[in-house]
Structure 1
Amino acid sequence: MDEQRGRGGGPPRWWGRRDGADGSGTDRGVGRWPWRSTVLVTAFVLAGSRFAAGQQADDRAHLDLFARLLLVVGSGLLLWRQRHPVLVVFGTATAAMVYLGAGYPYGPVFLTVALGCFSAVVAGHRKTAWTAVGMLWAGHVLIAHWLYQWLPPSGDEAASWGQEAVVAAWVVAIVAVAELVRVRREQWDRERAERARAARRRADEERLRIARELHDVLAHSISVINVQAGVGLALLDSDPEQARTALTTIKDASKEALGEVHQVLDTLRTPGDAPRAPAPGLDRLPELVEQAAGAGLTVEVRGTVPKLPPGADLAAFRIVQEALTNVVRHSGSRHARVRVDVDEADGALRLRVDDDGPATGADAGGSGNGLAGMRERAAALGGTIEAGPREDGGFRVLAVLPLRVKEDR
């Protein structure tokens, strides 16, 4: 592309303008004017041209007020090089061409053109910079080999082609250095953008993880509380003792839910700190069985709970918890079976949760975020979830979680 455009198809990005961290497209650096560097360059150009005038007094025109004005204008344009690099590169090239056409001595007048070209190339205006510098070189050839007869100083002779080769090499060197800086700067921009995307991706994954944790904790606990509240209301007058038991179950379930919610939210307040309590795992299956019993669901657990990595242990616990919650909420069955197996050949954990149905109102597995959360947990570990009705009218959730991380992952 001739002009490097900003992200999202915006306007060309001037040298010094960078996308802000907040995505607003503004840059605090553009608001500052490069006064110091411009003043230093102007002083150097004036002093160097005065020295060159002394060395070339017999060959070139005297350095008068108009010459100094051209030098100041060419150097002063650099003050806008961060805001309007196209204007600056053409302005400095024009001032230098007029300076040379007037027969004034050679010197650091080319420095302003070099800086203007450098600024334009780095800003992405490559062809514009090449055009301006090429125009200056073509103008110098025209003046030095043809128009010199009608331009001051009088008695001037045509320049040698060796001198033109030096000027051409100087132009190529400026453009090459500017292109190298431009390429490196684009690499920095890409790396910075990739780091920003990676940070946003990590933040999104963390938000999703917290959302899954909160859903699993609250859905399970609120389901138990809802069932027990119904039992307590139904038996409040006829069986106060059973109603008291239901209220006790509600108190315990709500207390546990609050504790787990606080644990999840602590990771938001103090990111990077170790959790205050260990994450739940399959060793807490007896607690799930007890909570399900409080909601009127009898759970039969088969198999031996193995020692699992922390990530797989938490995912397995949440999958079983969500599956039992769905049985309580969506199934008419009051009996569920949990099967835990380890496939040594495949290095995988198999979890199977069955109920006898029938579904009540909705599918026994639920249709909200529960199944989606289970699938996300399994997929994060490279595992799978299969959930659906059985032929005999019940519902089955089958989870396969790898116990070892593959080398290519």
Structure 2
Amino acid sequence: MLATLVPLFFEDMSVASYCLYAQKENMFEHPHLLGAGKYDGAGSIVGIEVFDSISETDLIDNCSIIIPINNISLFSNIEQQLTRFQGRIMLLLDQSIKPEDSYNKRIVDLKNKGFKLAIKDLPLANVEDYKTLLKDFDLFLVNSDTGDVVEQAKAFRKVLPSIDFCAENLHSKEEFDAAKDSGLFKIFEGTFFRIPINTQDTEVTPIKMNYMKLMSVINRPDFDLEDVANVIGQDPALSIELLKIANKLTLNSNIRSIQQATALLGQRELRRWLNTTLFNGLAAGKPNEITRLSLIRARFAENLALVFDYAMRKDELFLMGLFSLLNLILDMPMEEALTQVGVSNEIKKALVSGDGIFAPQLDFLLSYEAGDWQEVSRLMVLHDIEMHVVYDAYVEALKWYGNMFIEH
């Protein structure tokens, strides 16, 4: 099985919902799914196992969890399958649901049991037939891939005056701005949030400059632990966190100095901890999803190092994932951003020009998080990767991210 969680946003770029995208089988090993993938799993809800790996606090408080449902699984035991995230589940249906009495009764029943409802892929020509059915729905998805999303929304609004609209598949900042400025949409989805804002002058605060200088030092192949300890010692917050971590690693003695702590961790662990911690500092003030996505990419890339035959370079793959949105964090071109923090040439090649030895794994990460299961299936066949290995690597990355913020 393959599964990922795709974010949807409010106009202020806070997360409104996460939508489950899942596929039960490898499309290239089971070609019939290329034409009928939406019925994969039939009565069961494919991919909900991913929620067993995360706690409710791992996702943004009060955001909706969108679960795609087809005309078969609608009549399954949804209530028994979806027992977590009470009051937050939104069932996403499509035009396979017919405006008939049997469907309407089931939808009303689910609504009365606390489920929210959404619908997508409904042509304008059919909306009039669905008016009675849609009166209980909370969200209507308007697809920008089928035409100008604003013009579509204007036409839909004439028939559906009260339902909230979501603009989906927005691929550029311009598309997002147009949808937002129209005032017709409450929620937005697409790759637009990964597109950097092009500004001529970008001011970087002094503390972020210090973070980038420190990152450029620790990402050298060999660095002096004492030099790094001296820099950390000038930052009270970093010093406190480092001592906390070091003392967790010792059973019978207390670490009382930054020098002791850096020596205990060693270069590899110190580099890893500082990159993650400093990255969170750099990302302060940016949408939380940028940080979450970067950290999950980092761990996911590291977990897949073995299957891509780069087990000895998993630390580099971690950094590639961690810094894959650094241009958004620093509001500058990727090449310039990577120069600020210091990374290997192979990471630069993958993130700047999409080539080099790490490019195939980066392509895999991006296809997976977007739920592009046809491309993921092709790459798994090409690289002879077992599906369960990929799924386990992603789930472990979700768990790791959740555990990062738990105080022990």
Higher helix share: 1
Larger radius of gyration: 1
Give yes or no for TM over 0.5. no
TM-score, length-scaled by structure 2: 0.19
TM-score (norm 1): 0.19
